[in-house]
Amino acid sequence: MTPTRPVFYISDGTGITAETIGHSLLTQFGDTRFATDRIPFVDTPDKAREAALRIRAAGEAAGVRPIVINSCVDNELYRLLAESGGLMLDIFAPFIEPLERELGQPRTNRVGQAHGMVDFEAYHRRINAMNYALTHDDGMIMDFDDAEIILVGVSRAGKTPTCVYLALHYGICAANYPLTEEDLEADRLPQKLRGHRHKLFGLTIDPVRLQQIRQERRPNSKYSQMDTCRREVAQAEHIFQNERLTVLSTTHTSIEEISSKVLTTLGIHREMF
Amino acid sequence: MTPTRPVFYISDGTGITAETIGHSLLTQFGDTRFATDRIPFVDTPDKAREAALRIRAAGEAAGVRPIVINSCVDNELYRLLAESGGLMLDIFAPFIEPLERELGQPRTNRVGQAHGMVDFEAYHRRINAMNYALTHDDGMIMDFDDAEIILVGVSRAGKTPTCVYLALHYGICAANYPLTEEDLEADRLPQKLRGHRHKLFGLTIDPVRLQQIRQERRPNSKYSQMDTCRREVAQAEHIFQNERLTVLSTTHTSIEEISSKVLTTLGIHREMF
C-alpha cells in the first residue's frame, strides 16, 4: 500500500490561497491518500526554520517526501522552507514573471495581503450583508427592497447556507423566502415577491434527501414525513415552472456551485472576498 | 494614465480556485487597475468558444490585452480559450507534472471537482455546523457541550461572522458568548463557560471602531455611546487578562485571519471546504 503523503500548506498570511489551490490539485490525484496540515503566518526566518523542521519530521515519520504548497513570496523564507527537503510547489512563482512583463511593472513585495483587511468599505459591506442574511433568513423580515437576491424554496432546500455564503464571499444582500403551506396550496408566489421578480431564484431538492434532512431536524413529525416532502417539492416545482423562475436542484450541488450559478443566472458580478 | 486591464477568471467549475489565486496575484500589482469578470462552468467547446469571444471583445474595448486566469484542465478547452488572444495564466499546469512525477501516477482528468459536492458526509457536517452557529449565536442557546470553539467578547466585536465562517469553511461547531453587563461588572467569566476553558478565545476591538459599528445598528442609544464602548472593551480585556484567554483584536483583521488564528491557537486542524 502507498504510504499516506504529508502535505503542508505554508503561507505568510492565512494560507487560504495555498490551501484552496492545493486542495484543487490534490483532488486530481485520487489514488493517493494525503495527510494535510496548515502552517499560516510564516512571516519571519525563525518561523520558516521552525516550519521546515516540522515538515522534515513529518516526512521522516511517514517515510515519504512531503509536499509543500507554498505561498510565501519572500525569497529568504522560501529558501529556508526548501531546506525541509519537501517537494516545493510555489503557487505564485510561475505567474509573477509573465505578469510583470505584461503589466510593465515589478510586483510590490507585500506579505500576506490577500486575505488581510485592506479595504474598510468592502469589509463593511461584507459584514452588513452577513447581518442582512441573518435577519432576513427564513422569512423573518419580509421587506425585500434591499435584497439583491431572493432565494425561494421549501424549508431545508439549502437557502440559508447559500445566502450566508453569498454575503460572506461577495458582500451580497441575499434574502430567502420559504414557501409556506398557504403559498403551496394557492399554487403561486405570494404578493410580496411579485415586485421583485428579477431577484428571484428557485431552489429545489430531491424529496428523499429532503426527508433525511428534515428527519434530523424534527424526527417523526408531519414536517419530516416522506409524503409531506414529496408533495411540497412537487408543489414548489409547479410554482417555479408557472412563474418561469430559474431553478436549481441542491441535492448534488455544493454551496459554492449554487452561489456561482445564482450569480451567473441573475447576471450579478461582484468580486470575491 | 494606464488603461484598466480586463481580467477573466475561467473555470470548468465554479471558478473559485481561479479567482482566489488570481486575486492574490493581482494584489501584488497595486499600480494597475483591473476590471475582473468570472466565467464559470466552461465545460464544453461551445462554451469555451463563447468565452474566448467575450475575452477578445473586452480586450478590444479596453485597448489592452486581457489577462485570463484559467483553471480549465482540459487541453482542448485551453486551446480554444487561448484563441482569445489574452495572456493565459493556467493555474494548475505548472504543478501537475512535478506532482505526477513525485506521486508516480498520472492525474485523473476530472473536470470541475474542487468545489463540487464529492463527500456527502463532509457536506453534512458543514451544514450541521452552520445550523449550530446560527442557533448558538449571541447567547441564544447556552449549552456549550457540543461546541468546539467558543468566541467570547462584547457585542459587535466580530464573533458572529467568525463563527459562521468557521462553520462554512471548516465544518466546525463554533458558539459565541457575548459578555453581558452582569459578567462585565462581576469582572469574570460566567459559570457556564468555566467547564469549557480549552475552547475559549477572546475577541476585542478598538472602542472607536466599535462605536461606529454600534452607532449604525442602534443610533444614539446608550449601547452605542463612546463611553459605553470604552468601558465595555476595557472591562472585557480585563477579564481576558485575568482568565489568561488568548485574545485577538478584530479591528484590522479579516474574518479569514481571525478564523485562521483561532484554529492555530486552539490547535484545531480541519481541512478547508
Phi first, then psi: give them for residue A63, nearest 5 degrees.
Answer: 70, 25
| Domain pair B5-103 / B120-266, same fold | yes
Tell me the chain A residues in contact with residue B132 when contact means C-beta distances shorter than 8 Å: none
CB B109 within 8 A of CB B74: yes
Tens of pLDDT, residue by residue over A133-181, are 988 887 777 789 999 999 999 999 999 999 999 999 999 999 999 999 9
pLDDT higher than threshold 80 for residue A117: no
Nearest to A87 among B98, B105, B114 (CB): B98
pLDDT for A109 equals 66
Instruction: Check if A249 contacts B (Cβ < 8 Å).
Output: no
Higher pLDDT, B78 or A121: B78
A171 in B contact zone (CB under 8 Å): no
Higher pLDDT, B89 or A126: B89
Per-residue model confidence as pLDDT tens digits over B222-254: 999 999 999 999 999 999 999 999 999 999 898
- Annotated binding residue B164: no
Q: Is B148 on the interface with A (CB under 8 A)?
A: no
Nearest CA-CA partner of A147 in A164, A129, A165, A168: A129
- CA–CA min distance A36, chain B (Å): 7
| Contacts with B, A 203-222, CB within 8 Å | 213
CATH number for the region B5-103 comes to 3.40.50
Share of chain B above pLDDT 90, in %: 75
Grid coordinates in use for A147? 435584497
- Span A178-233, pLDDT tens digits: 999 999 999 999 999 989 999 999 999 999 999 998 998 899 999 999 999 999 99
CB contact under 8 A, B98 and A89: yes
> Which of the residues B19, B20, B100, B206 would you substitute to probe the A interface, choosing the one with the greatest number of A C-beta atoms within 10 Å?
B20
Note the pLDDT of residue A136: 86
The rounded mean pLDDT for chain A is: 91
Whether the pLDDT of residue B109 is over 70: the answer is no
Q: Helix (H, G, I), strand (E, B), or coil: what is residue A238?
A: helix
User: Measured between CA atoms, how close is B239 to chain A, in angstroms?
Assistant: 27
Q: Would the pLDDT of A118 be above 60?
A: no
* Contact state of B41 with A260 under an 8 Å Cβ cutoff: yes
Q: Is residue B104 marked as binding?
A: no
- The C-alpha atoms of residue B205 and residue B202 are separated, in whole angstroms, by 10
Tell me which residue in B25, B261, B264 faces A92 most closely, judged by beta carbons.
Answer: B25
Q: Residue holding cell 408543489?
A: A235
Contact with chain A for residue B27, Cβ under 8 A = yes
Inform me whether the C-beta atom of residue B21 falls under 8 Å from chain A C-beta atoms. yes
Cα–Cα separations (whole angstroms), residue B13 to A26, B70, B101, B113:
16, 11, 26, 7
Q: Do B136 and B147 form a contact (C-beta atoms < 8 A)? A: yes
User: How far apart are alpha carbons A124 and A173 in whole angstroms?
Assistant: 12
Return the residue matching grid coordinates 480549465: B72
Q: pLDDT digit string (tens) for B187-227? A: 999 999 989 999 999 999 999 999 998 998 899 999 999 99
Query: Is B256 part of the contact surface with chain A (CB cutoff 8 Å)?
Result: yes
Lowest mean pLDDT among A40-54, A84-98, B108-122: B108-122
Cell 490525484 belongs to A29
pLDDT at residue number A5: 96
Domain ranges for chain B, please list them: 5-103, 120-266
Per-residue pLDDT at A157: 94
Whether ipTM tops 0.95, in short, is no
| Contact at CB, B89 and A107, closer than 8 angstroms | no
**Cβ pair B253:A117 closer than 8 A:** yes
**Percent of chain A whose pLDDT exceeds 70:** 96
In angstroms, the separation between the Cα of residue B19 and the nearest Cα of chain A is: 7
Chain A's closest residue to B66, CA to CA, is A102
The domain defined by A120-266 folds into Rossmann fold (3.40.50)
